[in-house]
Amino acid sequence: MRKVGEQAPDFTATLDDGSTFRLSESVEERHVVLYFYPKDFTPG
């Protein structure tokens, strides 16, 4: 579990439009808020 203010690990994800998002590149340009959405119709 991460603590407030702790740096998130770097990761790469494919966006809806097919482009690539890399956390380490984005935090250099702007503030980033991460939200992980659980799969629909699952507990939690």
Name the more confident of 12 and 30.
12
**Is 4 contained in some domain?**
no
* 3-state SS record for the chain: CCCCCCCCCCCEEECCCCCEEEHHHHHHHCCCCCCCCCCCCCCC
Number of domains in the chain: 1
Q: What is the pLDDT of residues 8-27, one digit of tens each?
A: 889 999 999 999 989 988 87
**Is 21 contained in some domain?**
yes
pLDDT of 44 reads 63
**Is 43 contained in some domain?**
no
Average pLDDT of the chain is 84
Name the more confident of 13 and 32.
13
**Domain extent at residue 27:** 13-37
Instruction: Give me the percent of the chain exceeding a pLDDT of 90.
Output: 25
**Is 25 contained in some domain?**
yes
How far from 9 is each of 18, 24, 44, CA to CA, in Å? Answer: 22, 9, 23
CA atoms within 13 A on the CB side of 24: 4
pLDDT of 43 reads 78
